[in-house]
Amino acid sequence: MNAASSSAQLGAMDLYHALPCPEGWVTRRLRFFTRINKAQPITLAPEDEVSFVPMAAIGEHGGIQLDQVKALDEVGDGYTYFADSDVVVAKITPCFENGKGAFAKGLRNGIAFGTTELHVIRPADDIDGRFLFYLSISELFRKLGEGAMYGAGGQKRVPDLFIKDFQALVPPLDQQQKIAAFLDRKTAEIDTLIAKKRRLLDRLAEKRTALITRAVTKGLNPDAPMKDSGIEWLGEIPAHWDVMAIKWITPVLRGASPRPIDDPIYFDDEGEYSWVRIADVTASEMRLEKTTQRLSELGASLSVKRHPGDLFLSIAGSVGKPIIAGIKCCIHDGFVYFPRIPPELSEYLFWIFKSGQPYLGLGKLGTQLNLNTDTVGGIRIALPPADEVHEIVDWISGNVKSLDEIHERISNAIVRLEEYRSALITNAVTGQIKVA
């Protein structure tokens, strides 16, 4: 355990030990009122079907997808067995992200097989399974678990001993059942509100795309005479606009990397040029203002230099995502760039790419979309006169800003609801609030 993890765990433990123990409750380690990672004999016939639960089926806040089934003799070795009313907790990163665990209920024939990267916690007769489940996704359990994790790099694990030795505040069975029923009801209400707000975000995203697409294909004058562009994604465009392949406007070139890229000789914290990774672009919106690394003079000389105002496009990772440089930077071969794009066209092309519409027919956005210099160069766009380009860019920027402000308010409301949900669960399972 590193120093940061140890400090986080100590802080969570201090918080835990500071909690008053309500009258009638007792402090017990999980190992004394549950069976942990111990399977029971299976009595089903080989042809009987059981639920099959890969890690991806364990969702946020204890969600579990049970739509996959397999015959028992088709499951094979190498899976964890669990049963109805068991609680499962992920063993590996991101095990504590958004309460990544589940309460097993509604399993086919009462049995499921899943990844071995699950801790299985089976409650004793005097423990309510739903109460135990809420305990396992409480903020307190997660904070202590994060502090106990071990392992190098991005893959860390929750040790068995953390699960076994976790000291829970346990009320009598009838009180556990009241708390579980209360949390079932309240979290369902919160989740309904969150779902509604997420649907609003989806509709906002659709409106944003439609707004951008209409502006870069139809212009701002609804009375302008139209003509058929001959391009499916463009449809009809203003009669005075041109249809141009991007390669007719500018060459489309690929970035470059110094090799081997992990050689420290290519990096310098005081270097003039920032080094752009896919993650930097993914985390940015319209303009790239910062990265986590800078190149040395040698490293920059072996890459492709870009300057404020330059447009480039990701063709790996977040495939198809455009970005405009706000700083001096260097790009690798996971990006393409446009060396002869006039500054006034950079933002216009940015919005065209941002709409995602030019990629229709090139593959599905994401890992299935295959972009390279030829496919990007071959994309045909509708190009208005320069004065209209400026008007369209200004109009899109203003309208998108308004939509983004609404998006931020809704997103912040979702965060507050999730924080309230987490605090409610923690306070209920530790007896800090009374439940009806």
- 166 is a domain residue: yes
11 and 111 belong to one structural domain: yes
Mean pLDDT confidence for 314-319: 89
Amino acid at 69: V
- 11 is a domain residue: yes
Q: Are 299 and 258 within 8 A, CB to CB?
A: yes
**Which region among 90-104, 235-249, 322-336 has the lowest average model confidence (pLDDT)?**
90-104
Query: Mean pLDDT over all residues of the chain?
Result: 86
CATH (domain of 319): 3.90.220.20
User: What was the pLDDT predicted at 379?
Assistant: 95
Whether the predicted pLDDT of 34 surpasses 70: yes
145 and 289 belong to one structural domain: no
Cα(131)–Cα(428) distance, rounded to whole angstroms? Answer: 10
User: What was the pLDDT predicted at 275?
Assistant: 96
Residue count of the chain, please give it. Answer: 436
119 and 42 belong to one structural domain: yes
Q: How many CB atoms neighbour CB 301 within 10 A?
A: 13
Q: Percent of the chain, pLDDT > 70?
A: 87
184 and 138 belong to one structural domain: no
Cα(276)–Cα(289) distance, rounded to whole angstroms? Answer: 10
pLDDT digit string, tens, across residues 332-368: 999 999 999 987 799 999 999 999 999 987 765 444 6
Who has greater pLDDT, 151 or 352?
352
Amino acid at 135: L
User: What was the pLDDT predicted at 96?
Assistant: 54
Whether the predicted pLDDT of 84 surpasses 50: yes
Helix spans in 1-128 (H): 3-18, 72-75
Q: Are 274 and 329 within 8 A, CB to CB?
A: yes
Mean pLDDT confidence for 100-125: 80
User: What was the pLDDT predicted at 294?
Assistant: 95
Whether the predicted pLDDT of 315 surpasses 50: yes
Whether the predicted pLDDT of 4 surpasses 60: no
307 and 423 belong to one structural domain: no
- 252 is a domain residue: yes
124 and 14 belong to one structural domain: yes
Mean pLDDT confidence for 204-223: 95
179 and 166 belong to one structural domain: no
User: What was the pLDDT predicted at 5?
Assistant: 46
Pairing of strands 329-331, 304-306: antiparallel
Indicate the number of domains in the chain. Answer: 3
pLDDT digit string, tens, across residues 152-207: 656 677 778 888 888 889 999 999 999 999 999 999 999 999 999 999 999 999 99
Q: Percent of the chain, pLDDT > 90?
A: 57
- 28 is a domain residue: yes
CA dist 225 to 174, 213, 250, 383, Å? 74, 18, 28, 15
Whether the predicted pLDDT of 423 surpasses 50: yes
161 and 176 belong to one structural domain: no
pTM: 0.79
Cα(277)–Cα(126) distance, rounded to whole angstroms? Answer: 53
Cα angle, residue 156 at apex, residues 154 and 160 outer, rounded to 5° = 175
User: What was the pLDDT predicted at 59?
Assistant: 62
- 345 is a domain residue: yes
282 and 423 belong to one structural domain: no
User: What was the pLDDT predicted at 12?
Assistant: 47
pLDDT digit string, tens, across residues 55-81: 666 665 556 666 778 788 877 777 777
Phi, psi of 145 (to 5 degrees): -65, -40
CA torsion angle for 356, 359, 365, 371 (degrees, to 10)?
-120
Domain range for 396? 172-202+386-436
287 and 418 belong to one structural domain: no
